[in-house]
Amino acid sequence: MFTHPDHAHCTIRAAIIDLDGTMLDTVPDFQVALNHMRAELDLAPISQAQIAVMVGKGSENLIRAVLALDFDAAGVARRFDAALASYQRHYLDVNGRHCTLYPEVREGLRALREAGLRLACVTNKPIAFAMPLLAQMGLAPFFEIVYGGDSLARKKPDPLPLLTVCADFALAPREVVAIGDSSNDAEAARAAGCFVLTVPYGYNHGRAIQETDSDGIVTSLLHAAGLIRSHNQTAN
C-alpha cells in the first residue's frame, strides 16, 4: 500500500471521499426517478442492474445513456432537455428515500477524523442533490468541504476537483488520499498526484475494480482508515 516512490514517506493529512457507490448505494433512488422519467416518455421501466453501469459520470451522461437504450443519437438529442428536467424533478422528490449506507461508513468516517484527517466529499452528483442527501443520511457533519459535479468547471475524472480541495486545505496532493469506487476516482487522483484507495462493492461503470490503477482495494472506509493510520505511523 502507498508505495509510490515520491509519496511513500509522506504523511496523509486529508481524505477526499466519493459519494455514490462509495458511501451510499443510491441506485434504488436512481431507479425510481429514472422510471418516472421513462413513464413520461411512454418507455418501459429499467432495472437496477442496467442503471448501475451508467452512474458515476454525472446526470447529463446518465440521462443520455438511459435514452440511448431506446433511441439513436438524434432521438436522444431531441429528447434530452425534457428528459433531464423530468429526471431532476423526480430525483429531488425521491432523493435519499430508497438509498442505503454501505457497511462501516460512519465508523470509517469517525476513524478518519479521529486519526486527524480533514475530510472532503467530491462527487459527480449535482450539488443540489448531494448536500441534502449527505444531511439526510447523517454524513454532512463529517465533511469540511463538499463539491458536486456542477460545483466547478470540470468534474472527475478531471483532477480539478481534487486539486481544488488540496488548495482549500493548503495541502500538497501527496498529503491527500482519494477514496472511491470507480476509475473516475482513480484517474482523477493519479492526475492530481494524490494517493487513491478503491472499494470493490460500488458501480465502476460495470467494470471490475481490479482493472483500476490504485494504491489498494479496501473493503470499507473503516479498513481504509486503518491502512492510513498504519501508513502515517510508518511515514513518521
Model pLDDT for residues 44-94, shown as the tens digit of each residue: 999 999 999 898 788 899 999 999 999 999 999 999 999 999 999 999 999
Q: What is the DSSP letter of 10?
A: P
Q: What percent of the chain has pLDDT over 70?
A: 97
Residue where a domain stops, chosen among 71, 94, 117:
94
Answer yes or no: is pLDDT of 3 > 70.
no
Cα–Cα distance, 198 to 180 (Å, whole number): 5
Q: Has residue 5 been placed in a domain? A: no
Q: Has residue 55 been placed in a domain? A: yes
Model pLDDT for residues 69-79, shown as the tens digit of each residue: 999 999 999 99
Query: What's the pLDDT at 121?
Result: 98
Answer yes or no: is pLDDT of 218 > 70.
yes
Q: Has residue 37 been placed in a domain? A: yes
Which domain, by its residues, includes 51? 27-94
Query: What's the pLDDT at 211?
Result: 86
Separation in Å, CA 79 to CA 30, 55, 58, 82, 190: 19, 19, 18, 6, 36
Q: Has residue 4 been placed in a domain? A: no
Report the range of poorest mean pLDDT among 109-118, 159-168, 208-217: 208-217
Q: How confident is the model at residue 177 (pLDDT cuts 50, 70, 90)?
A: very high
Q: Has residue 2 been placed in a domain? A: no
Answer yes or no: is pLDDT of 166 > 60.
yes
Q: Are residues 52 and 143 in the same domain?
A: no
Q: Are residues 83 and 128 in the same domain?
A: no
**Which three cell numbers, joined as nine digits, stand for 225?**
482508515
Q: How confident is the model at residue 148 (pLDDT cuts 50, 70, 90)?
A: very high
Counting the structural domains of the chain, the total is 2
- pTM for the model stands at 0.92
More confident residue, 173 or 209: 173
**Residues annotated catalytic, as ranges:** 18
Answer yes or no: is pLDDT of 6 > 90.
no
Q: Has residue 149 been placed in a domain? A: yes
Answer yes or no: is pLDDT of 206 > 90.
no
Cα–Cα distance, 175 to 60 (Å, whole number): 32
Q: How confident is the model at residue 2 (pLDDT cuts 50, 70, 90)?
A: low
Answer yes or no: is pLDDT of 10 > 80.
yes
Q: How confident is the model at residue 145 (pLDDT cuts 50, 70, 90)?
A: very high
Where would I find the H helices in 118-159?
A: 127-136
How confident is the model over 176-202, as a mean pLDDT? 96
* CATH number of residue 114's parent domain: 3.40.50.1000
